[in-house]
Structure 1
Amino acid sequence: MLFLSIFTHMCINTERPKPVVKVSPDERVFRGERVTLTCDIQRAGDIQWTYSWFKDGYTFYPHTTTTTTTTTTTAKISFSADKSDRAEYSCRGERSDSQRSDTSAAVTLTVSGESTLTVTPDSPVFTGETVTLKCVIETYSDWRYEWYKDSVMLQTSDRYTVNRDTLTIRGVITSDQGQYWCRGRRDKRPNSSQSNSAVYLSTKERPSLSSPHLSSLTSTVTLKCVIETHSDWRYEWYKDSVMLQTSDRYTVNRDTLTIRGVITSDQGQYWCRGQIRSVSSQPNPAVYLSVKGELNIIVLLNSICDHLFR
């Protein structure tokens, strides 16, 4: 009986200790939260251990921003959670006599809750437009949203409407240009989100048009409309207050109006306007097309011919 008792005691002592990994505050954390992983070797006694950490099965070397704490039987690493920290973590201990513990069971760290922004319409936007920014936060639905321009928190006002996850800017002006970002807050943990990317809203004044100018003045007249910015404007052409459409004598081709077979009734004020999205360009000065009678044209042509052939 004495022999058996001693043998059993020896077997117990030769069992390798089993580490356990604990996660604080939880295995599901939010981006930016402080996470602590603790490797605790069970039944380790008073022997000094050194510890190895594993991330997804590979040796994990904590980055420079990680805090490491080691005692006789525990090791802790603490860091600010980021997307790249999503992984399975395990640990193992080794004594000075090269005896190792078992490798712990892995714990899975889930990092979520980034906030991202979408902007409608695309930047740049023109003065007078309405812009909508939407804040999307992964996981959870009970967020209270905060909106910022640069470092200033925005509140609902005459032009700004903050409606939970949506910020609306009406009647954009040039001073609305800047960096926009959002953040979520809630009463339970995680209690604050992190904004992973702000968006820069670029604003432009509604462009003014150059006056339509005559590219040629013969029996066919060509007028061209010039807008300094963008290439995807839709152009409208007007004679006096009447919008012109392509017809037998009028050809409207984007920024160009062509009048063929000019007649006296074509005389008048011509002007153009550009539109993009819901924005119209600033009104441009009109040009006045003066049409002389047929007799004058013949006389003019004859005088040119006389000059050439004398």
Structure 2
Amino acid sequence: MSGEATILITCEFGIFAINKCVLFFVFVFISIEILMKLMCLFVCSFVSSYLVETVTNKPVITRQPSWSQIFQGEKITLTCEVQGGEKTDWKYYWWRNSQSLPDNEKLLQFTASESFNGEYECMARRKVDFYSSTTWSEAFTVSVLRLKLVLSVSPSWLIPGASVTLICHTEPPSAGWSFYWFKAVPNSQDSYTYEPLPGTSSGTANNSFTVHGQTHTAGYACSAGRGDPLIYTQHSRPTFVWSSGVHPSASLTVNPDRVQHFTSESLSLTCEGNSSQWRLIQFLTDDSLLSFLPPATINGSTYIKNEAPRKAVYWCESGTEFSNAVNISTHSDGVILVSPVYPVPVGESVTLLCVMKTGNIPSDVFFYKNNKVIENERRGEMKISAVSESDEGFYKCQYNGRESAQSWMAVKVSRSESSSFHVWLIFGLVCGVLLIFILCLLWCYKCKKSELILTLKPLEK
């Protein structure tokens, strides 16, 4: 019995001893680890204090190019320059946003993108004396921006043969750019390809460019480049100059033929000309939003249901062809002005109507041209029996306190009339110059004659 008791006691003490040993070794292991860390800290501190020499040369970060703003895609070089240590062979260390970079060279080069934004620091150590190092440089901020190009055209609506001015804006505004100019050519993917305008392949220092002799609707775009080597931006969104004049190779017809429409009314747009594959473009003027409408499905025409008030310009495109453009606005209530969507030829008659949504034509209507009252018609219409160039302008009507939107009525001058006008204008100018020249000769002759008389009088005496 006593033997059995002894065995039990031994077993209990054995289990206790094992647990105690495990705890002891864990404690020893942790203590050794802490002691080693403390020794490392002491040694590192000792080495830093007595072995690593901090040299007085201070590194400075510079950037090339040195423009005030950096944009995505540009090639950037940061240089860690140790002042006064130009002849020393250094090993460099770079940090960005307090994180080490793998580069150990003097130059840090990259293509600018938003992922490279941050605070950069650098320091250097002598290669022959590893324990001699500089202090860290001052933080250098790199901020990469997105560049947006916006092209504007003036005028938006073309007078055939007139000059068109293109202006390429950089957003945000920045300097150092050369500008490149392109014509937007429709392609089959509901987008455009871009062909350089003549004489612009080398770029222009000015952000404006003038296109001469434009006669039809056309699209333009711009791009910009700077740096050495040149880094180019993407093209701007295409911007259009519109012509209302119809020409045989490409034309857009509207039914009903008027500028203003009520919502819920349907509108038929038909593309015609030298192509069998047209696409119809809608440009919302208030939102500057360009969209490609679905292909025509009914007798070659596209039908649009005007469900919401809006102002839009429509035109057709195919290959290199652009049709005339038409300005269409839709209105939910009130009155609208019925005016022609196409230019009215000189000498033809035109009738302007003021119409309610019910279709009724009210009486006692006031008509305005360029915001000035021109006529008070009890029949709700205004007729111009023979249109002249002076009739071109903005028209609107007013009935019972309700006023329509303004619509532009264009006047088409035939080439013969236009050319004869220019001939008479040149003839008048030439005659005026000749008359002034003859008068000058007569005046000179009179002066010389007076001088001659005064000279001869003493001789007679």
User: What is the TM-score when the length of structure 2 is the normalising length?
Assistant: 0.35
For residues 276 and 151 of structure 1, do their structure 2 counterparts lie closer, same or farther at Cα, with a shift above 3 Å needed? same
Structure ranking higher in strand proportion: 1
2:216 is the alignment partner of 1:131:
no
Q: Distance in 1 between matches of 2:119 and 2:346?
A: 62
Query: Share of identical aligned residues, percent?
Result: 24
> How far apart are 1:238 and its partner, in Å?
0.9
Match of 2:99 among 152, 155, 178: 152
Alignment of 1:74-223 (within 5 A): 112-122=56-66, 123-137=68-82, 138-139=84-85, 141-155=88-102, 162-169=103-110, 171-186=111-126, 188=129, 191-205=132-146, 207-215=147-155, 217-218=158-159, 219-223=162-166
Q: How big is the alpha-carbon RMSD for the aligned residues of Structure 1 and Structure 2? A: 3.6
Q: Deviations over 1:265-293 (max 9, x none)?
A: xx432111122323333322212334436
Q: Distance in 1 between matches of 2:178 and 2:344?
A: 38
For residues 113 and 190 of structure 1, do their structure 2 counterparts lie closer, same or farther at Cα, with a shift above 3 Å needed? farther
Corresponding residue number in structure 1 for 2:197: 244
Q: Distance in 2 between matches of 1:275 and 1:281?
A: 6
> How far apart are 1:151 and its partner, in Å?
1.1
Q: Distance in 2 between matches of 1:127 and 1:147?
A: 22
Q: Distance in 2 between matches of 1:289 and 1:283?
A: 17
Question: Contact (CA 8 Å) 2:94, 2:101: kept in 1 or not?
Answer: yes
Question: Contact (CA 8 Å) 2:123, 2:137: kept in 1 or not?
Answer: no
> How far apart are 1:197 and its partner, in Å?
2.5
For residues 303 and 284 of structure 1, do their structure 2 counterparts lie closer, same or farther at Cα, with a shift above 3 Å needed? farther
Question: Contact (CA 8 Å) 2:182, 2:220: kept in 1 or not?
Answer: yes
Question: Contact (CA 8 Å) 2:76, 2:109: kept in 1 or not?
Answer: yes
Match of 2:212 among 224, 247, 260: 260
Q: Distance in 2 between matches of 1:174 and 1:191?
A: 35
* Secondary structure in 1 matching 2:115: helix
2:145 corresponds to which letter in structure 1?
A: K
Q: Deviations over 1:185-236 (max 9, x none)?
A: 246376221134232112111x222243333633232232222221432211
- Any unmatched runs of 5+ in structure 2? 1-47, 185-193, 248-341, 348-386, 394-461
> How far apart are 1:136 and its partner, in Å?
2.0
> How far apart are 1:306 and its partner, in Å?
4.2
Question: Contact (CA 8 Å) 1:273, 1:281: kept in 2 or not?
Answer: yes
Q: Distance in 1 between matches of 2:241 and 2:155?
A: 12
Q: Distance in 2 between matches of 1:271 and 1:307?
A: 30
Q: Distance in 2 between matches of 1:130 and 1:297?
A: 52
1:132 corresponds to which letter in structure 2?
A: T
For residues 168 and 306 of structure 1, do their structure 2 counterparts lie closer, same or farther at Cα, with a shift above 3 Å needed? closer
Q: Deviations over 1:38-67 (max 9, x none)?
A: xxxxxxxxxxxxxxxxxxxxxxxxxxxxxx
2:241 is the alignment partner of 1:289:
yes
1 or 2 for the larger relative contact order (CA 8 Å, sep ≥6)? 1
Question: Contact (CA 8 Å) 1:124, 1:201: kept in 2 or not?
Answer: no
Question: How many equivalent residue pairs?
Answer: 189
* Secondary structure in 2 matching 1:200: strand
Q: Distance in 2 between matches of 1:189 and 1:306?
A: 88
1:274 corresponds to which letter in structure 2?
A: A
2:386 is the alignment partner of 1:305:
no
Q: Distance in 2 between matches of 1:297 and 1:257?
A: 28
Corresponding residue number in structure 2 for 1:14: none
Question: Contact (CA 8 Å) 1:184, 1:192: kept in 2 or not?
Answer: yes
Larger Rg: 2
Q: Distance in 2 between matches of 1:126 and 1:142?
A: 33
Structure ranking higher in helix proportion: 2
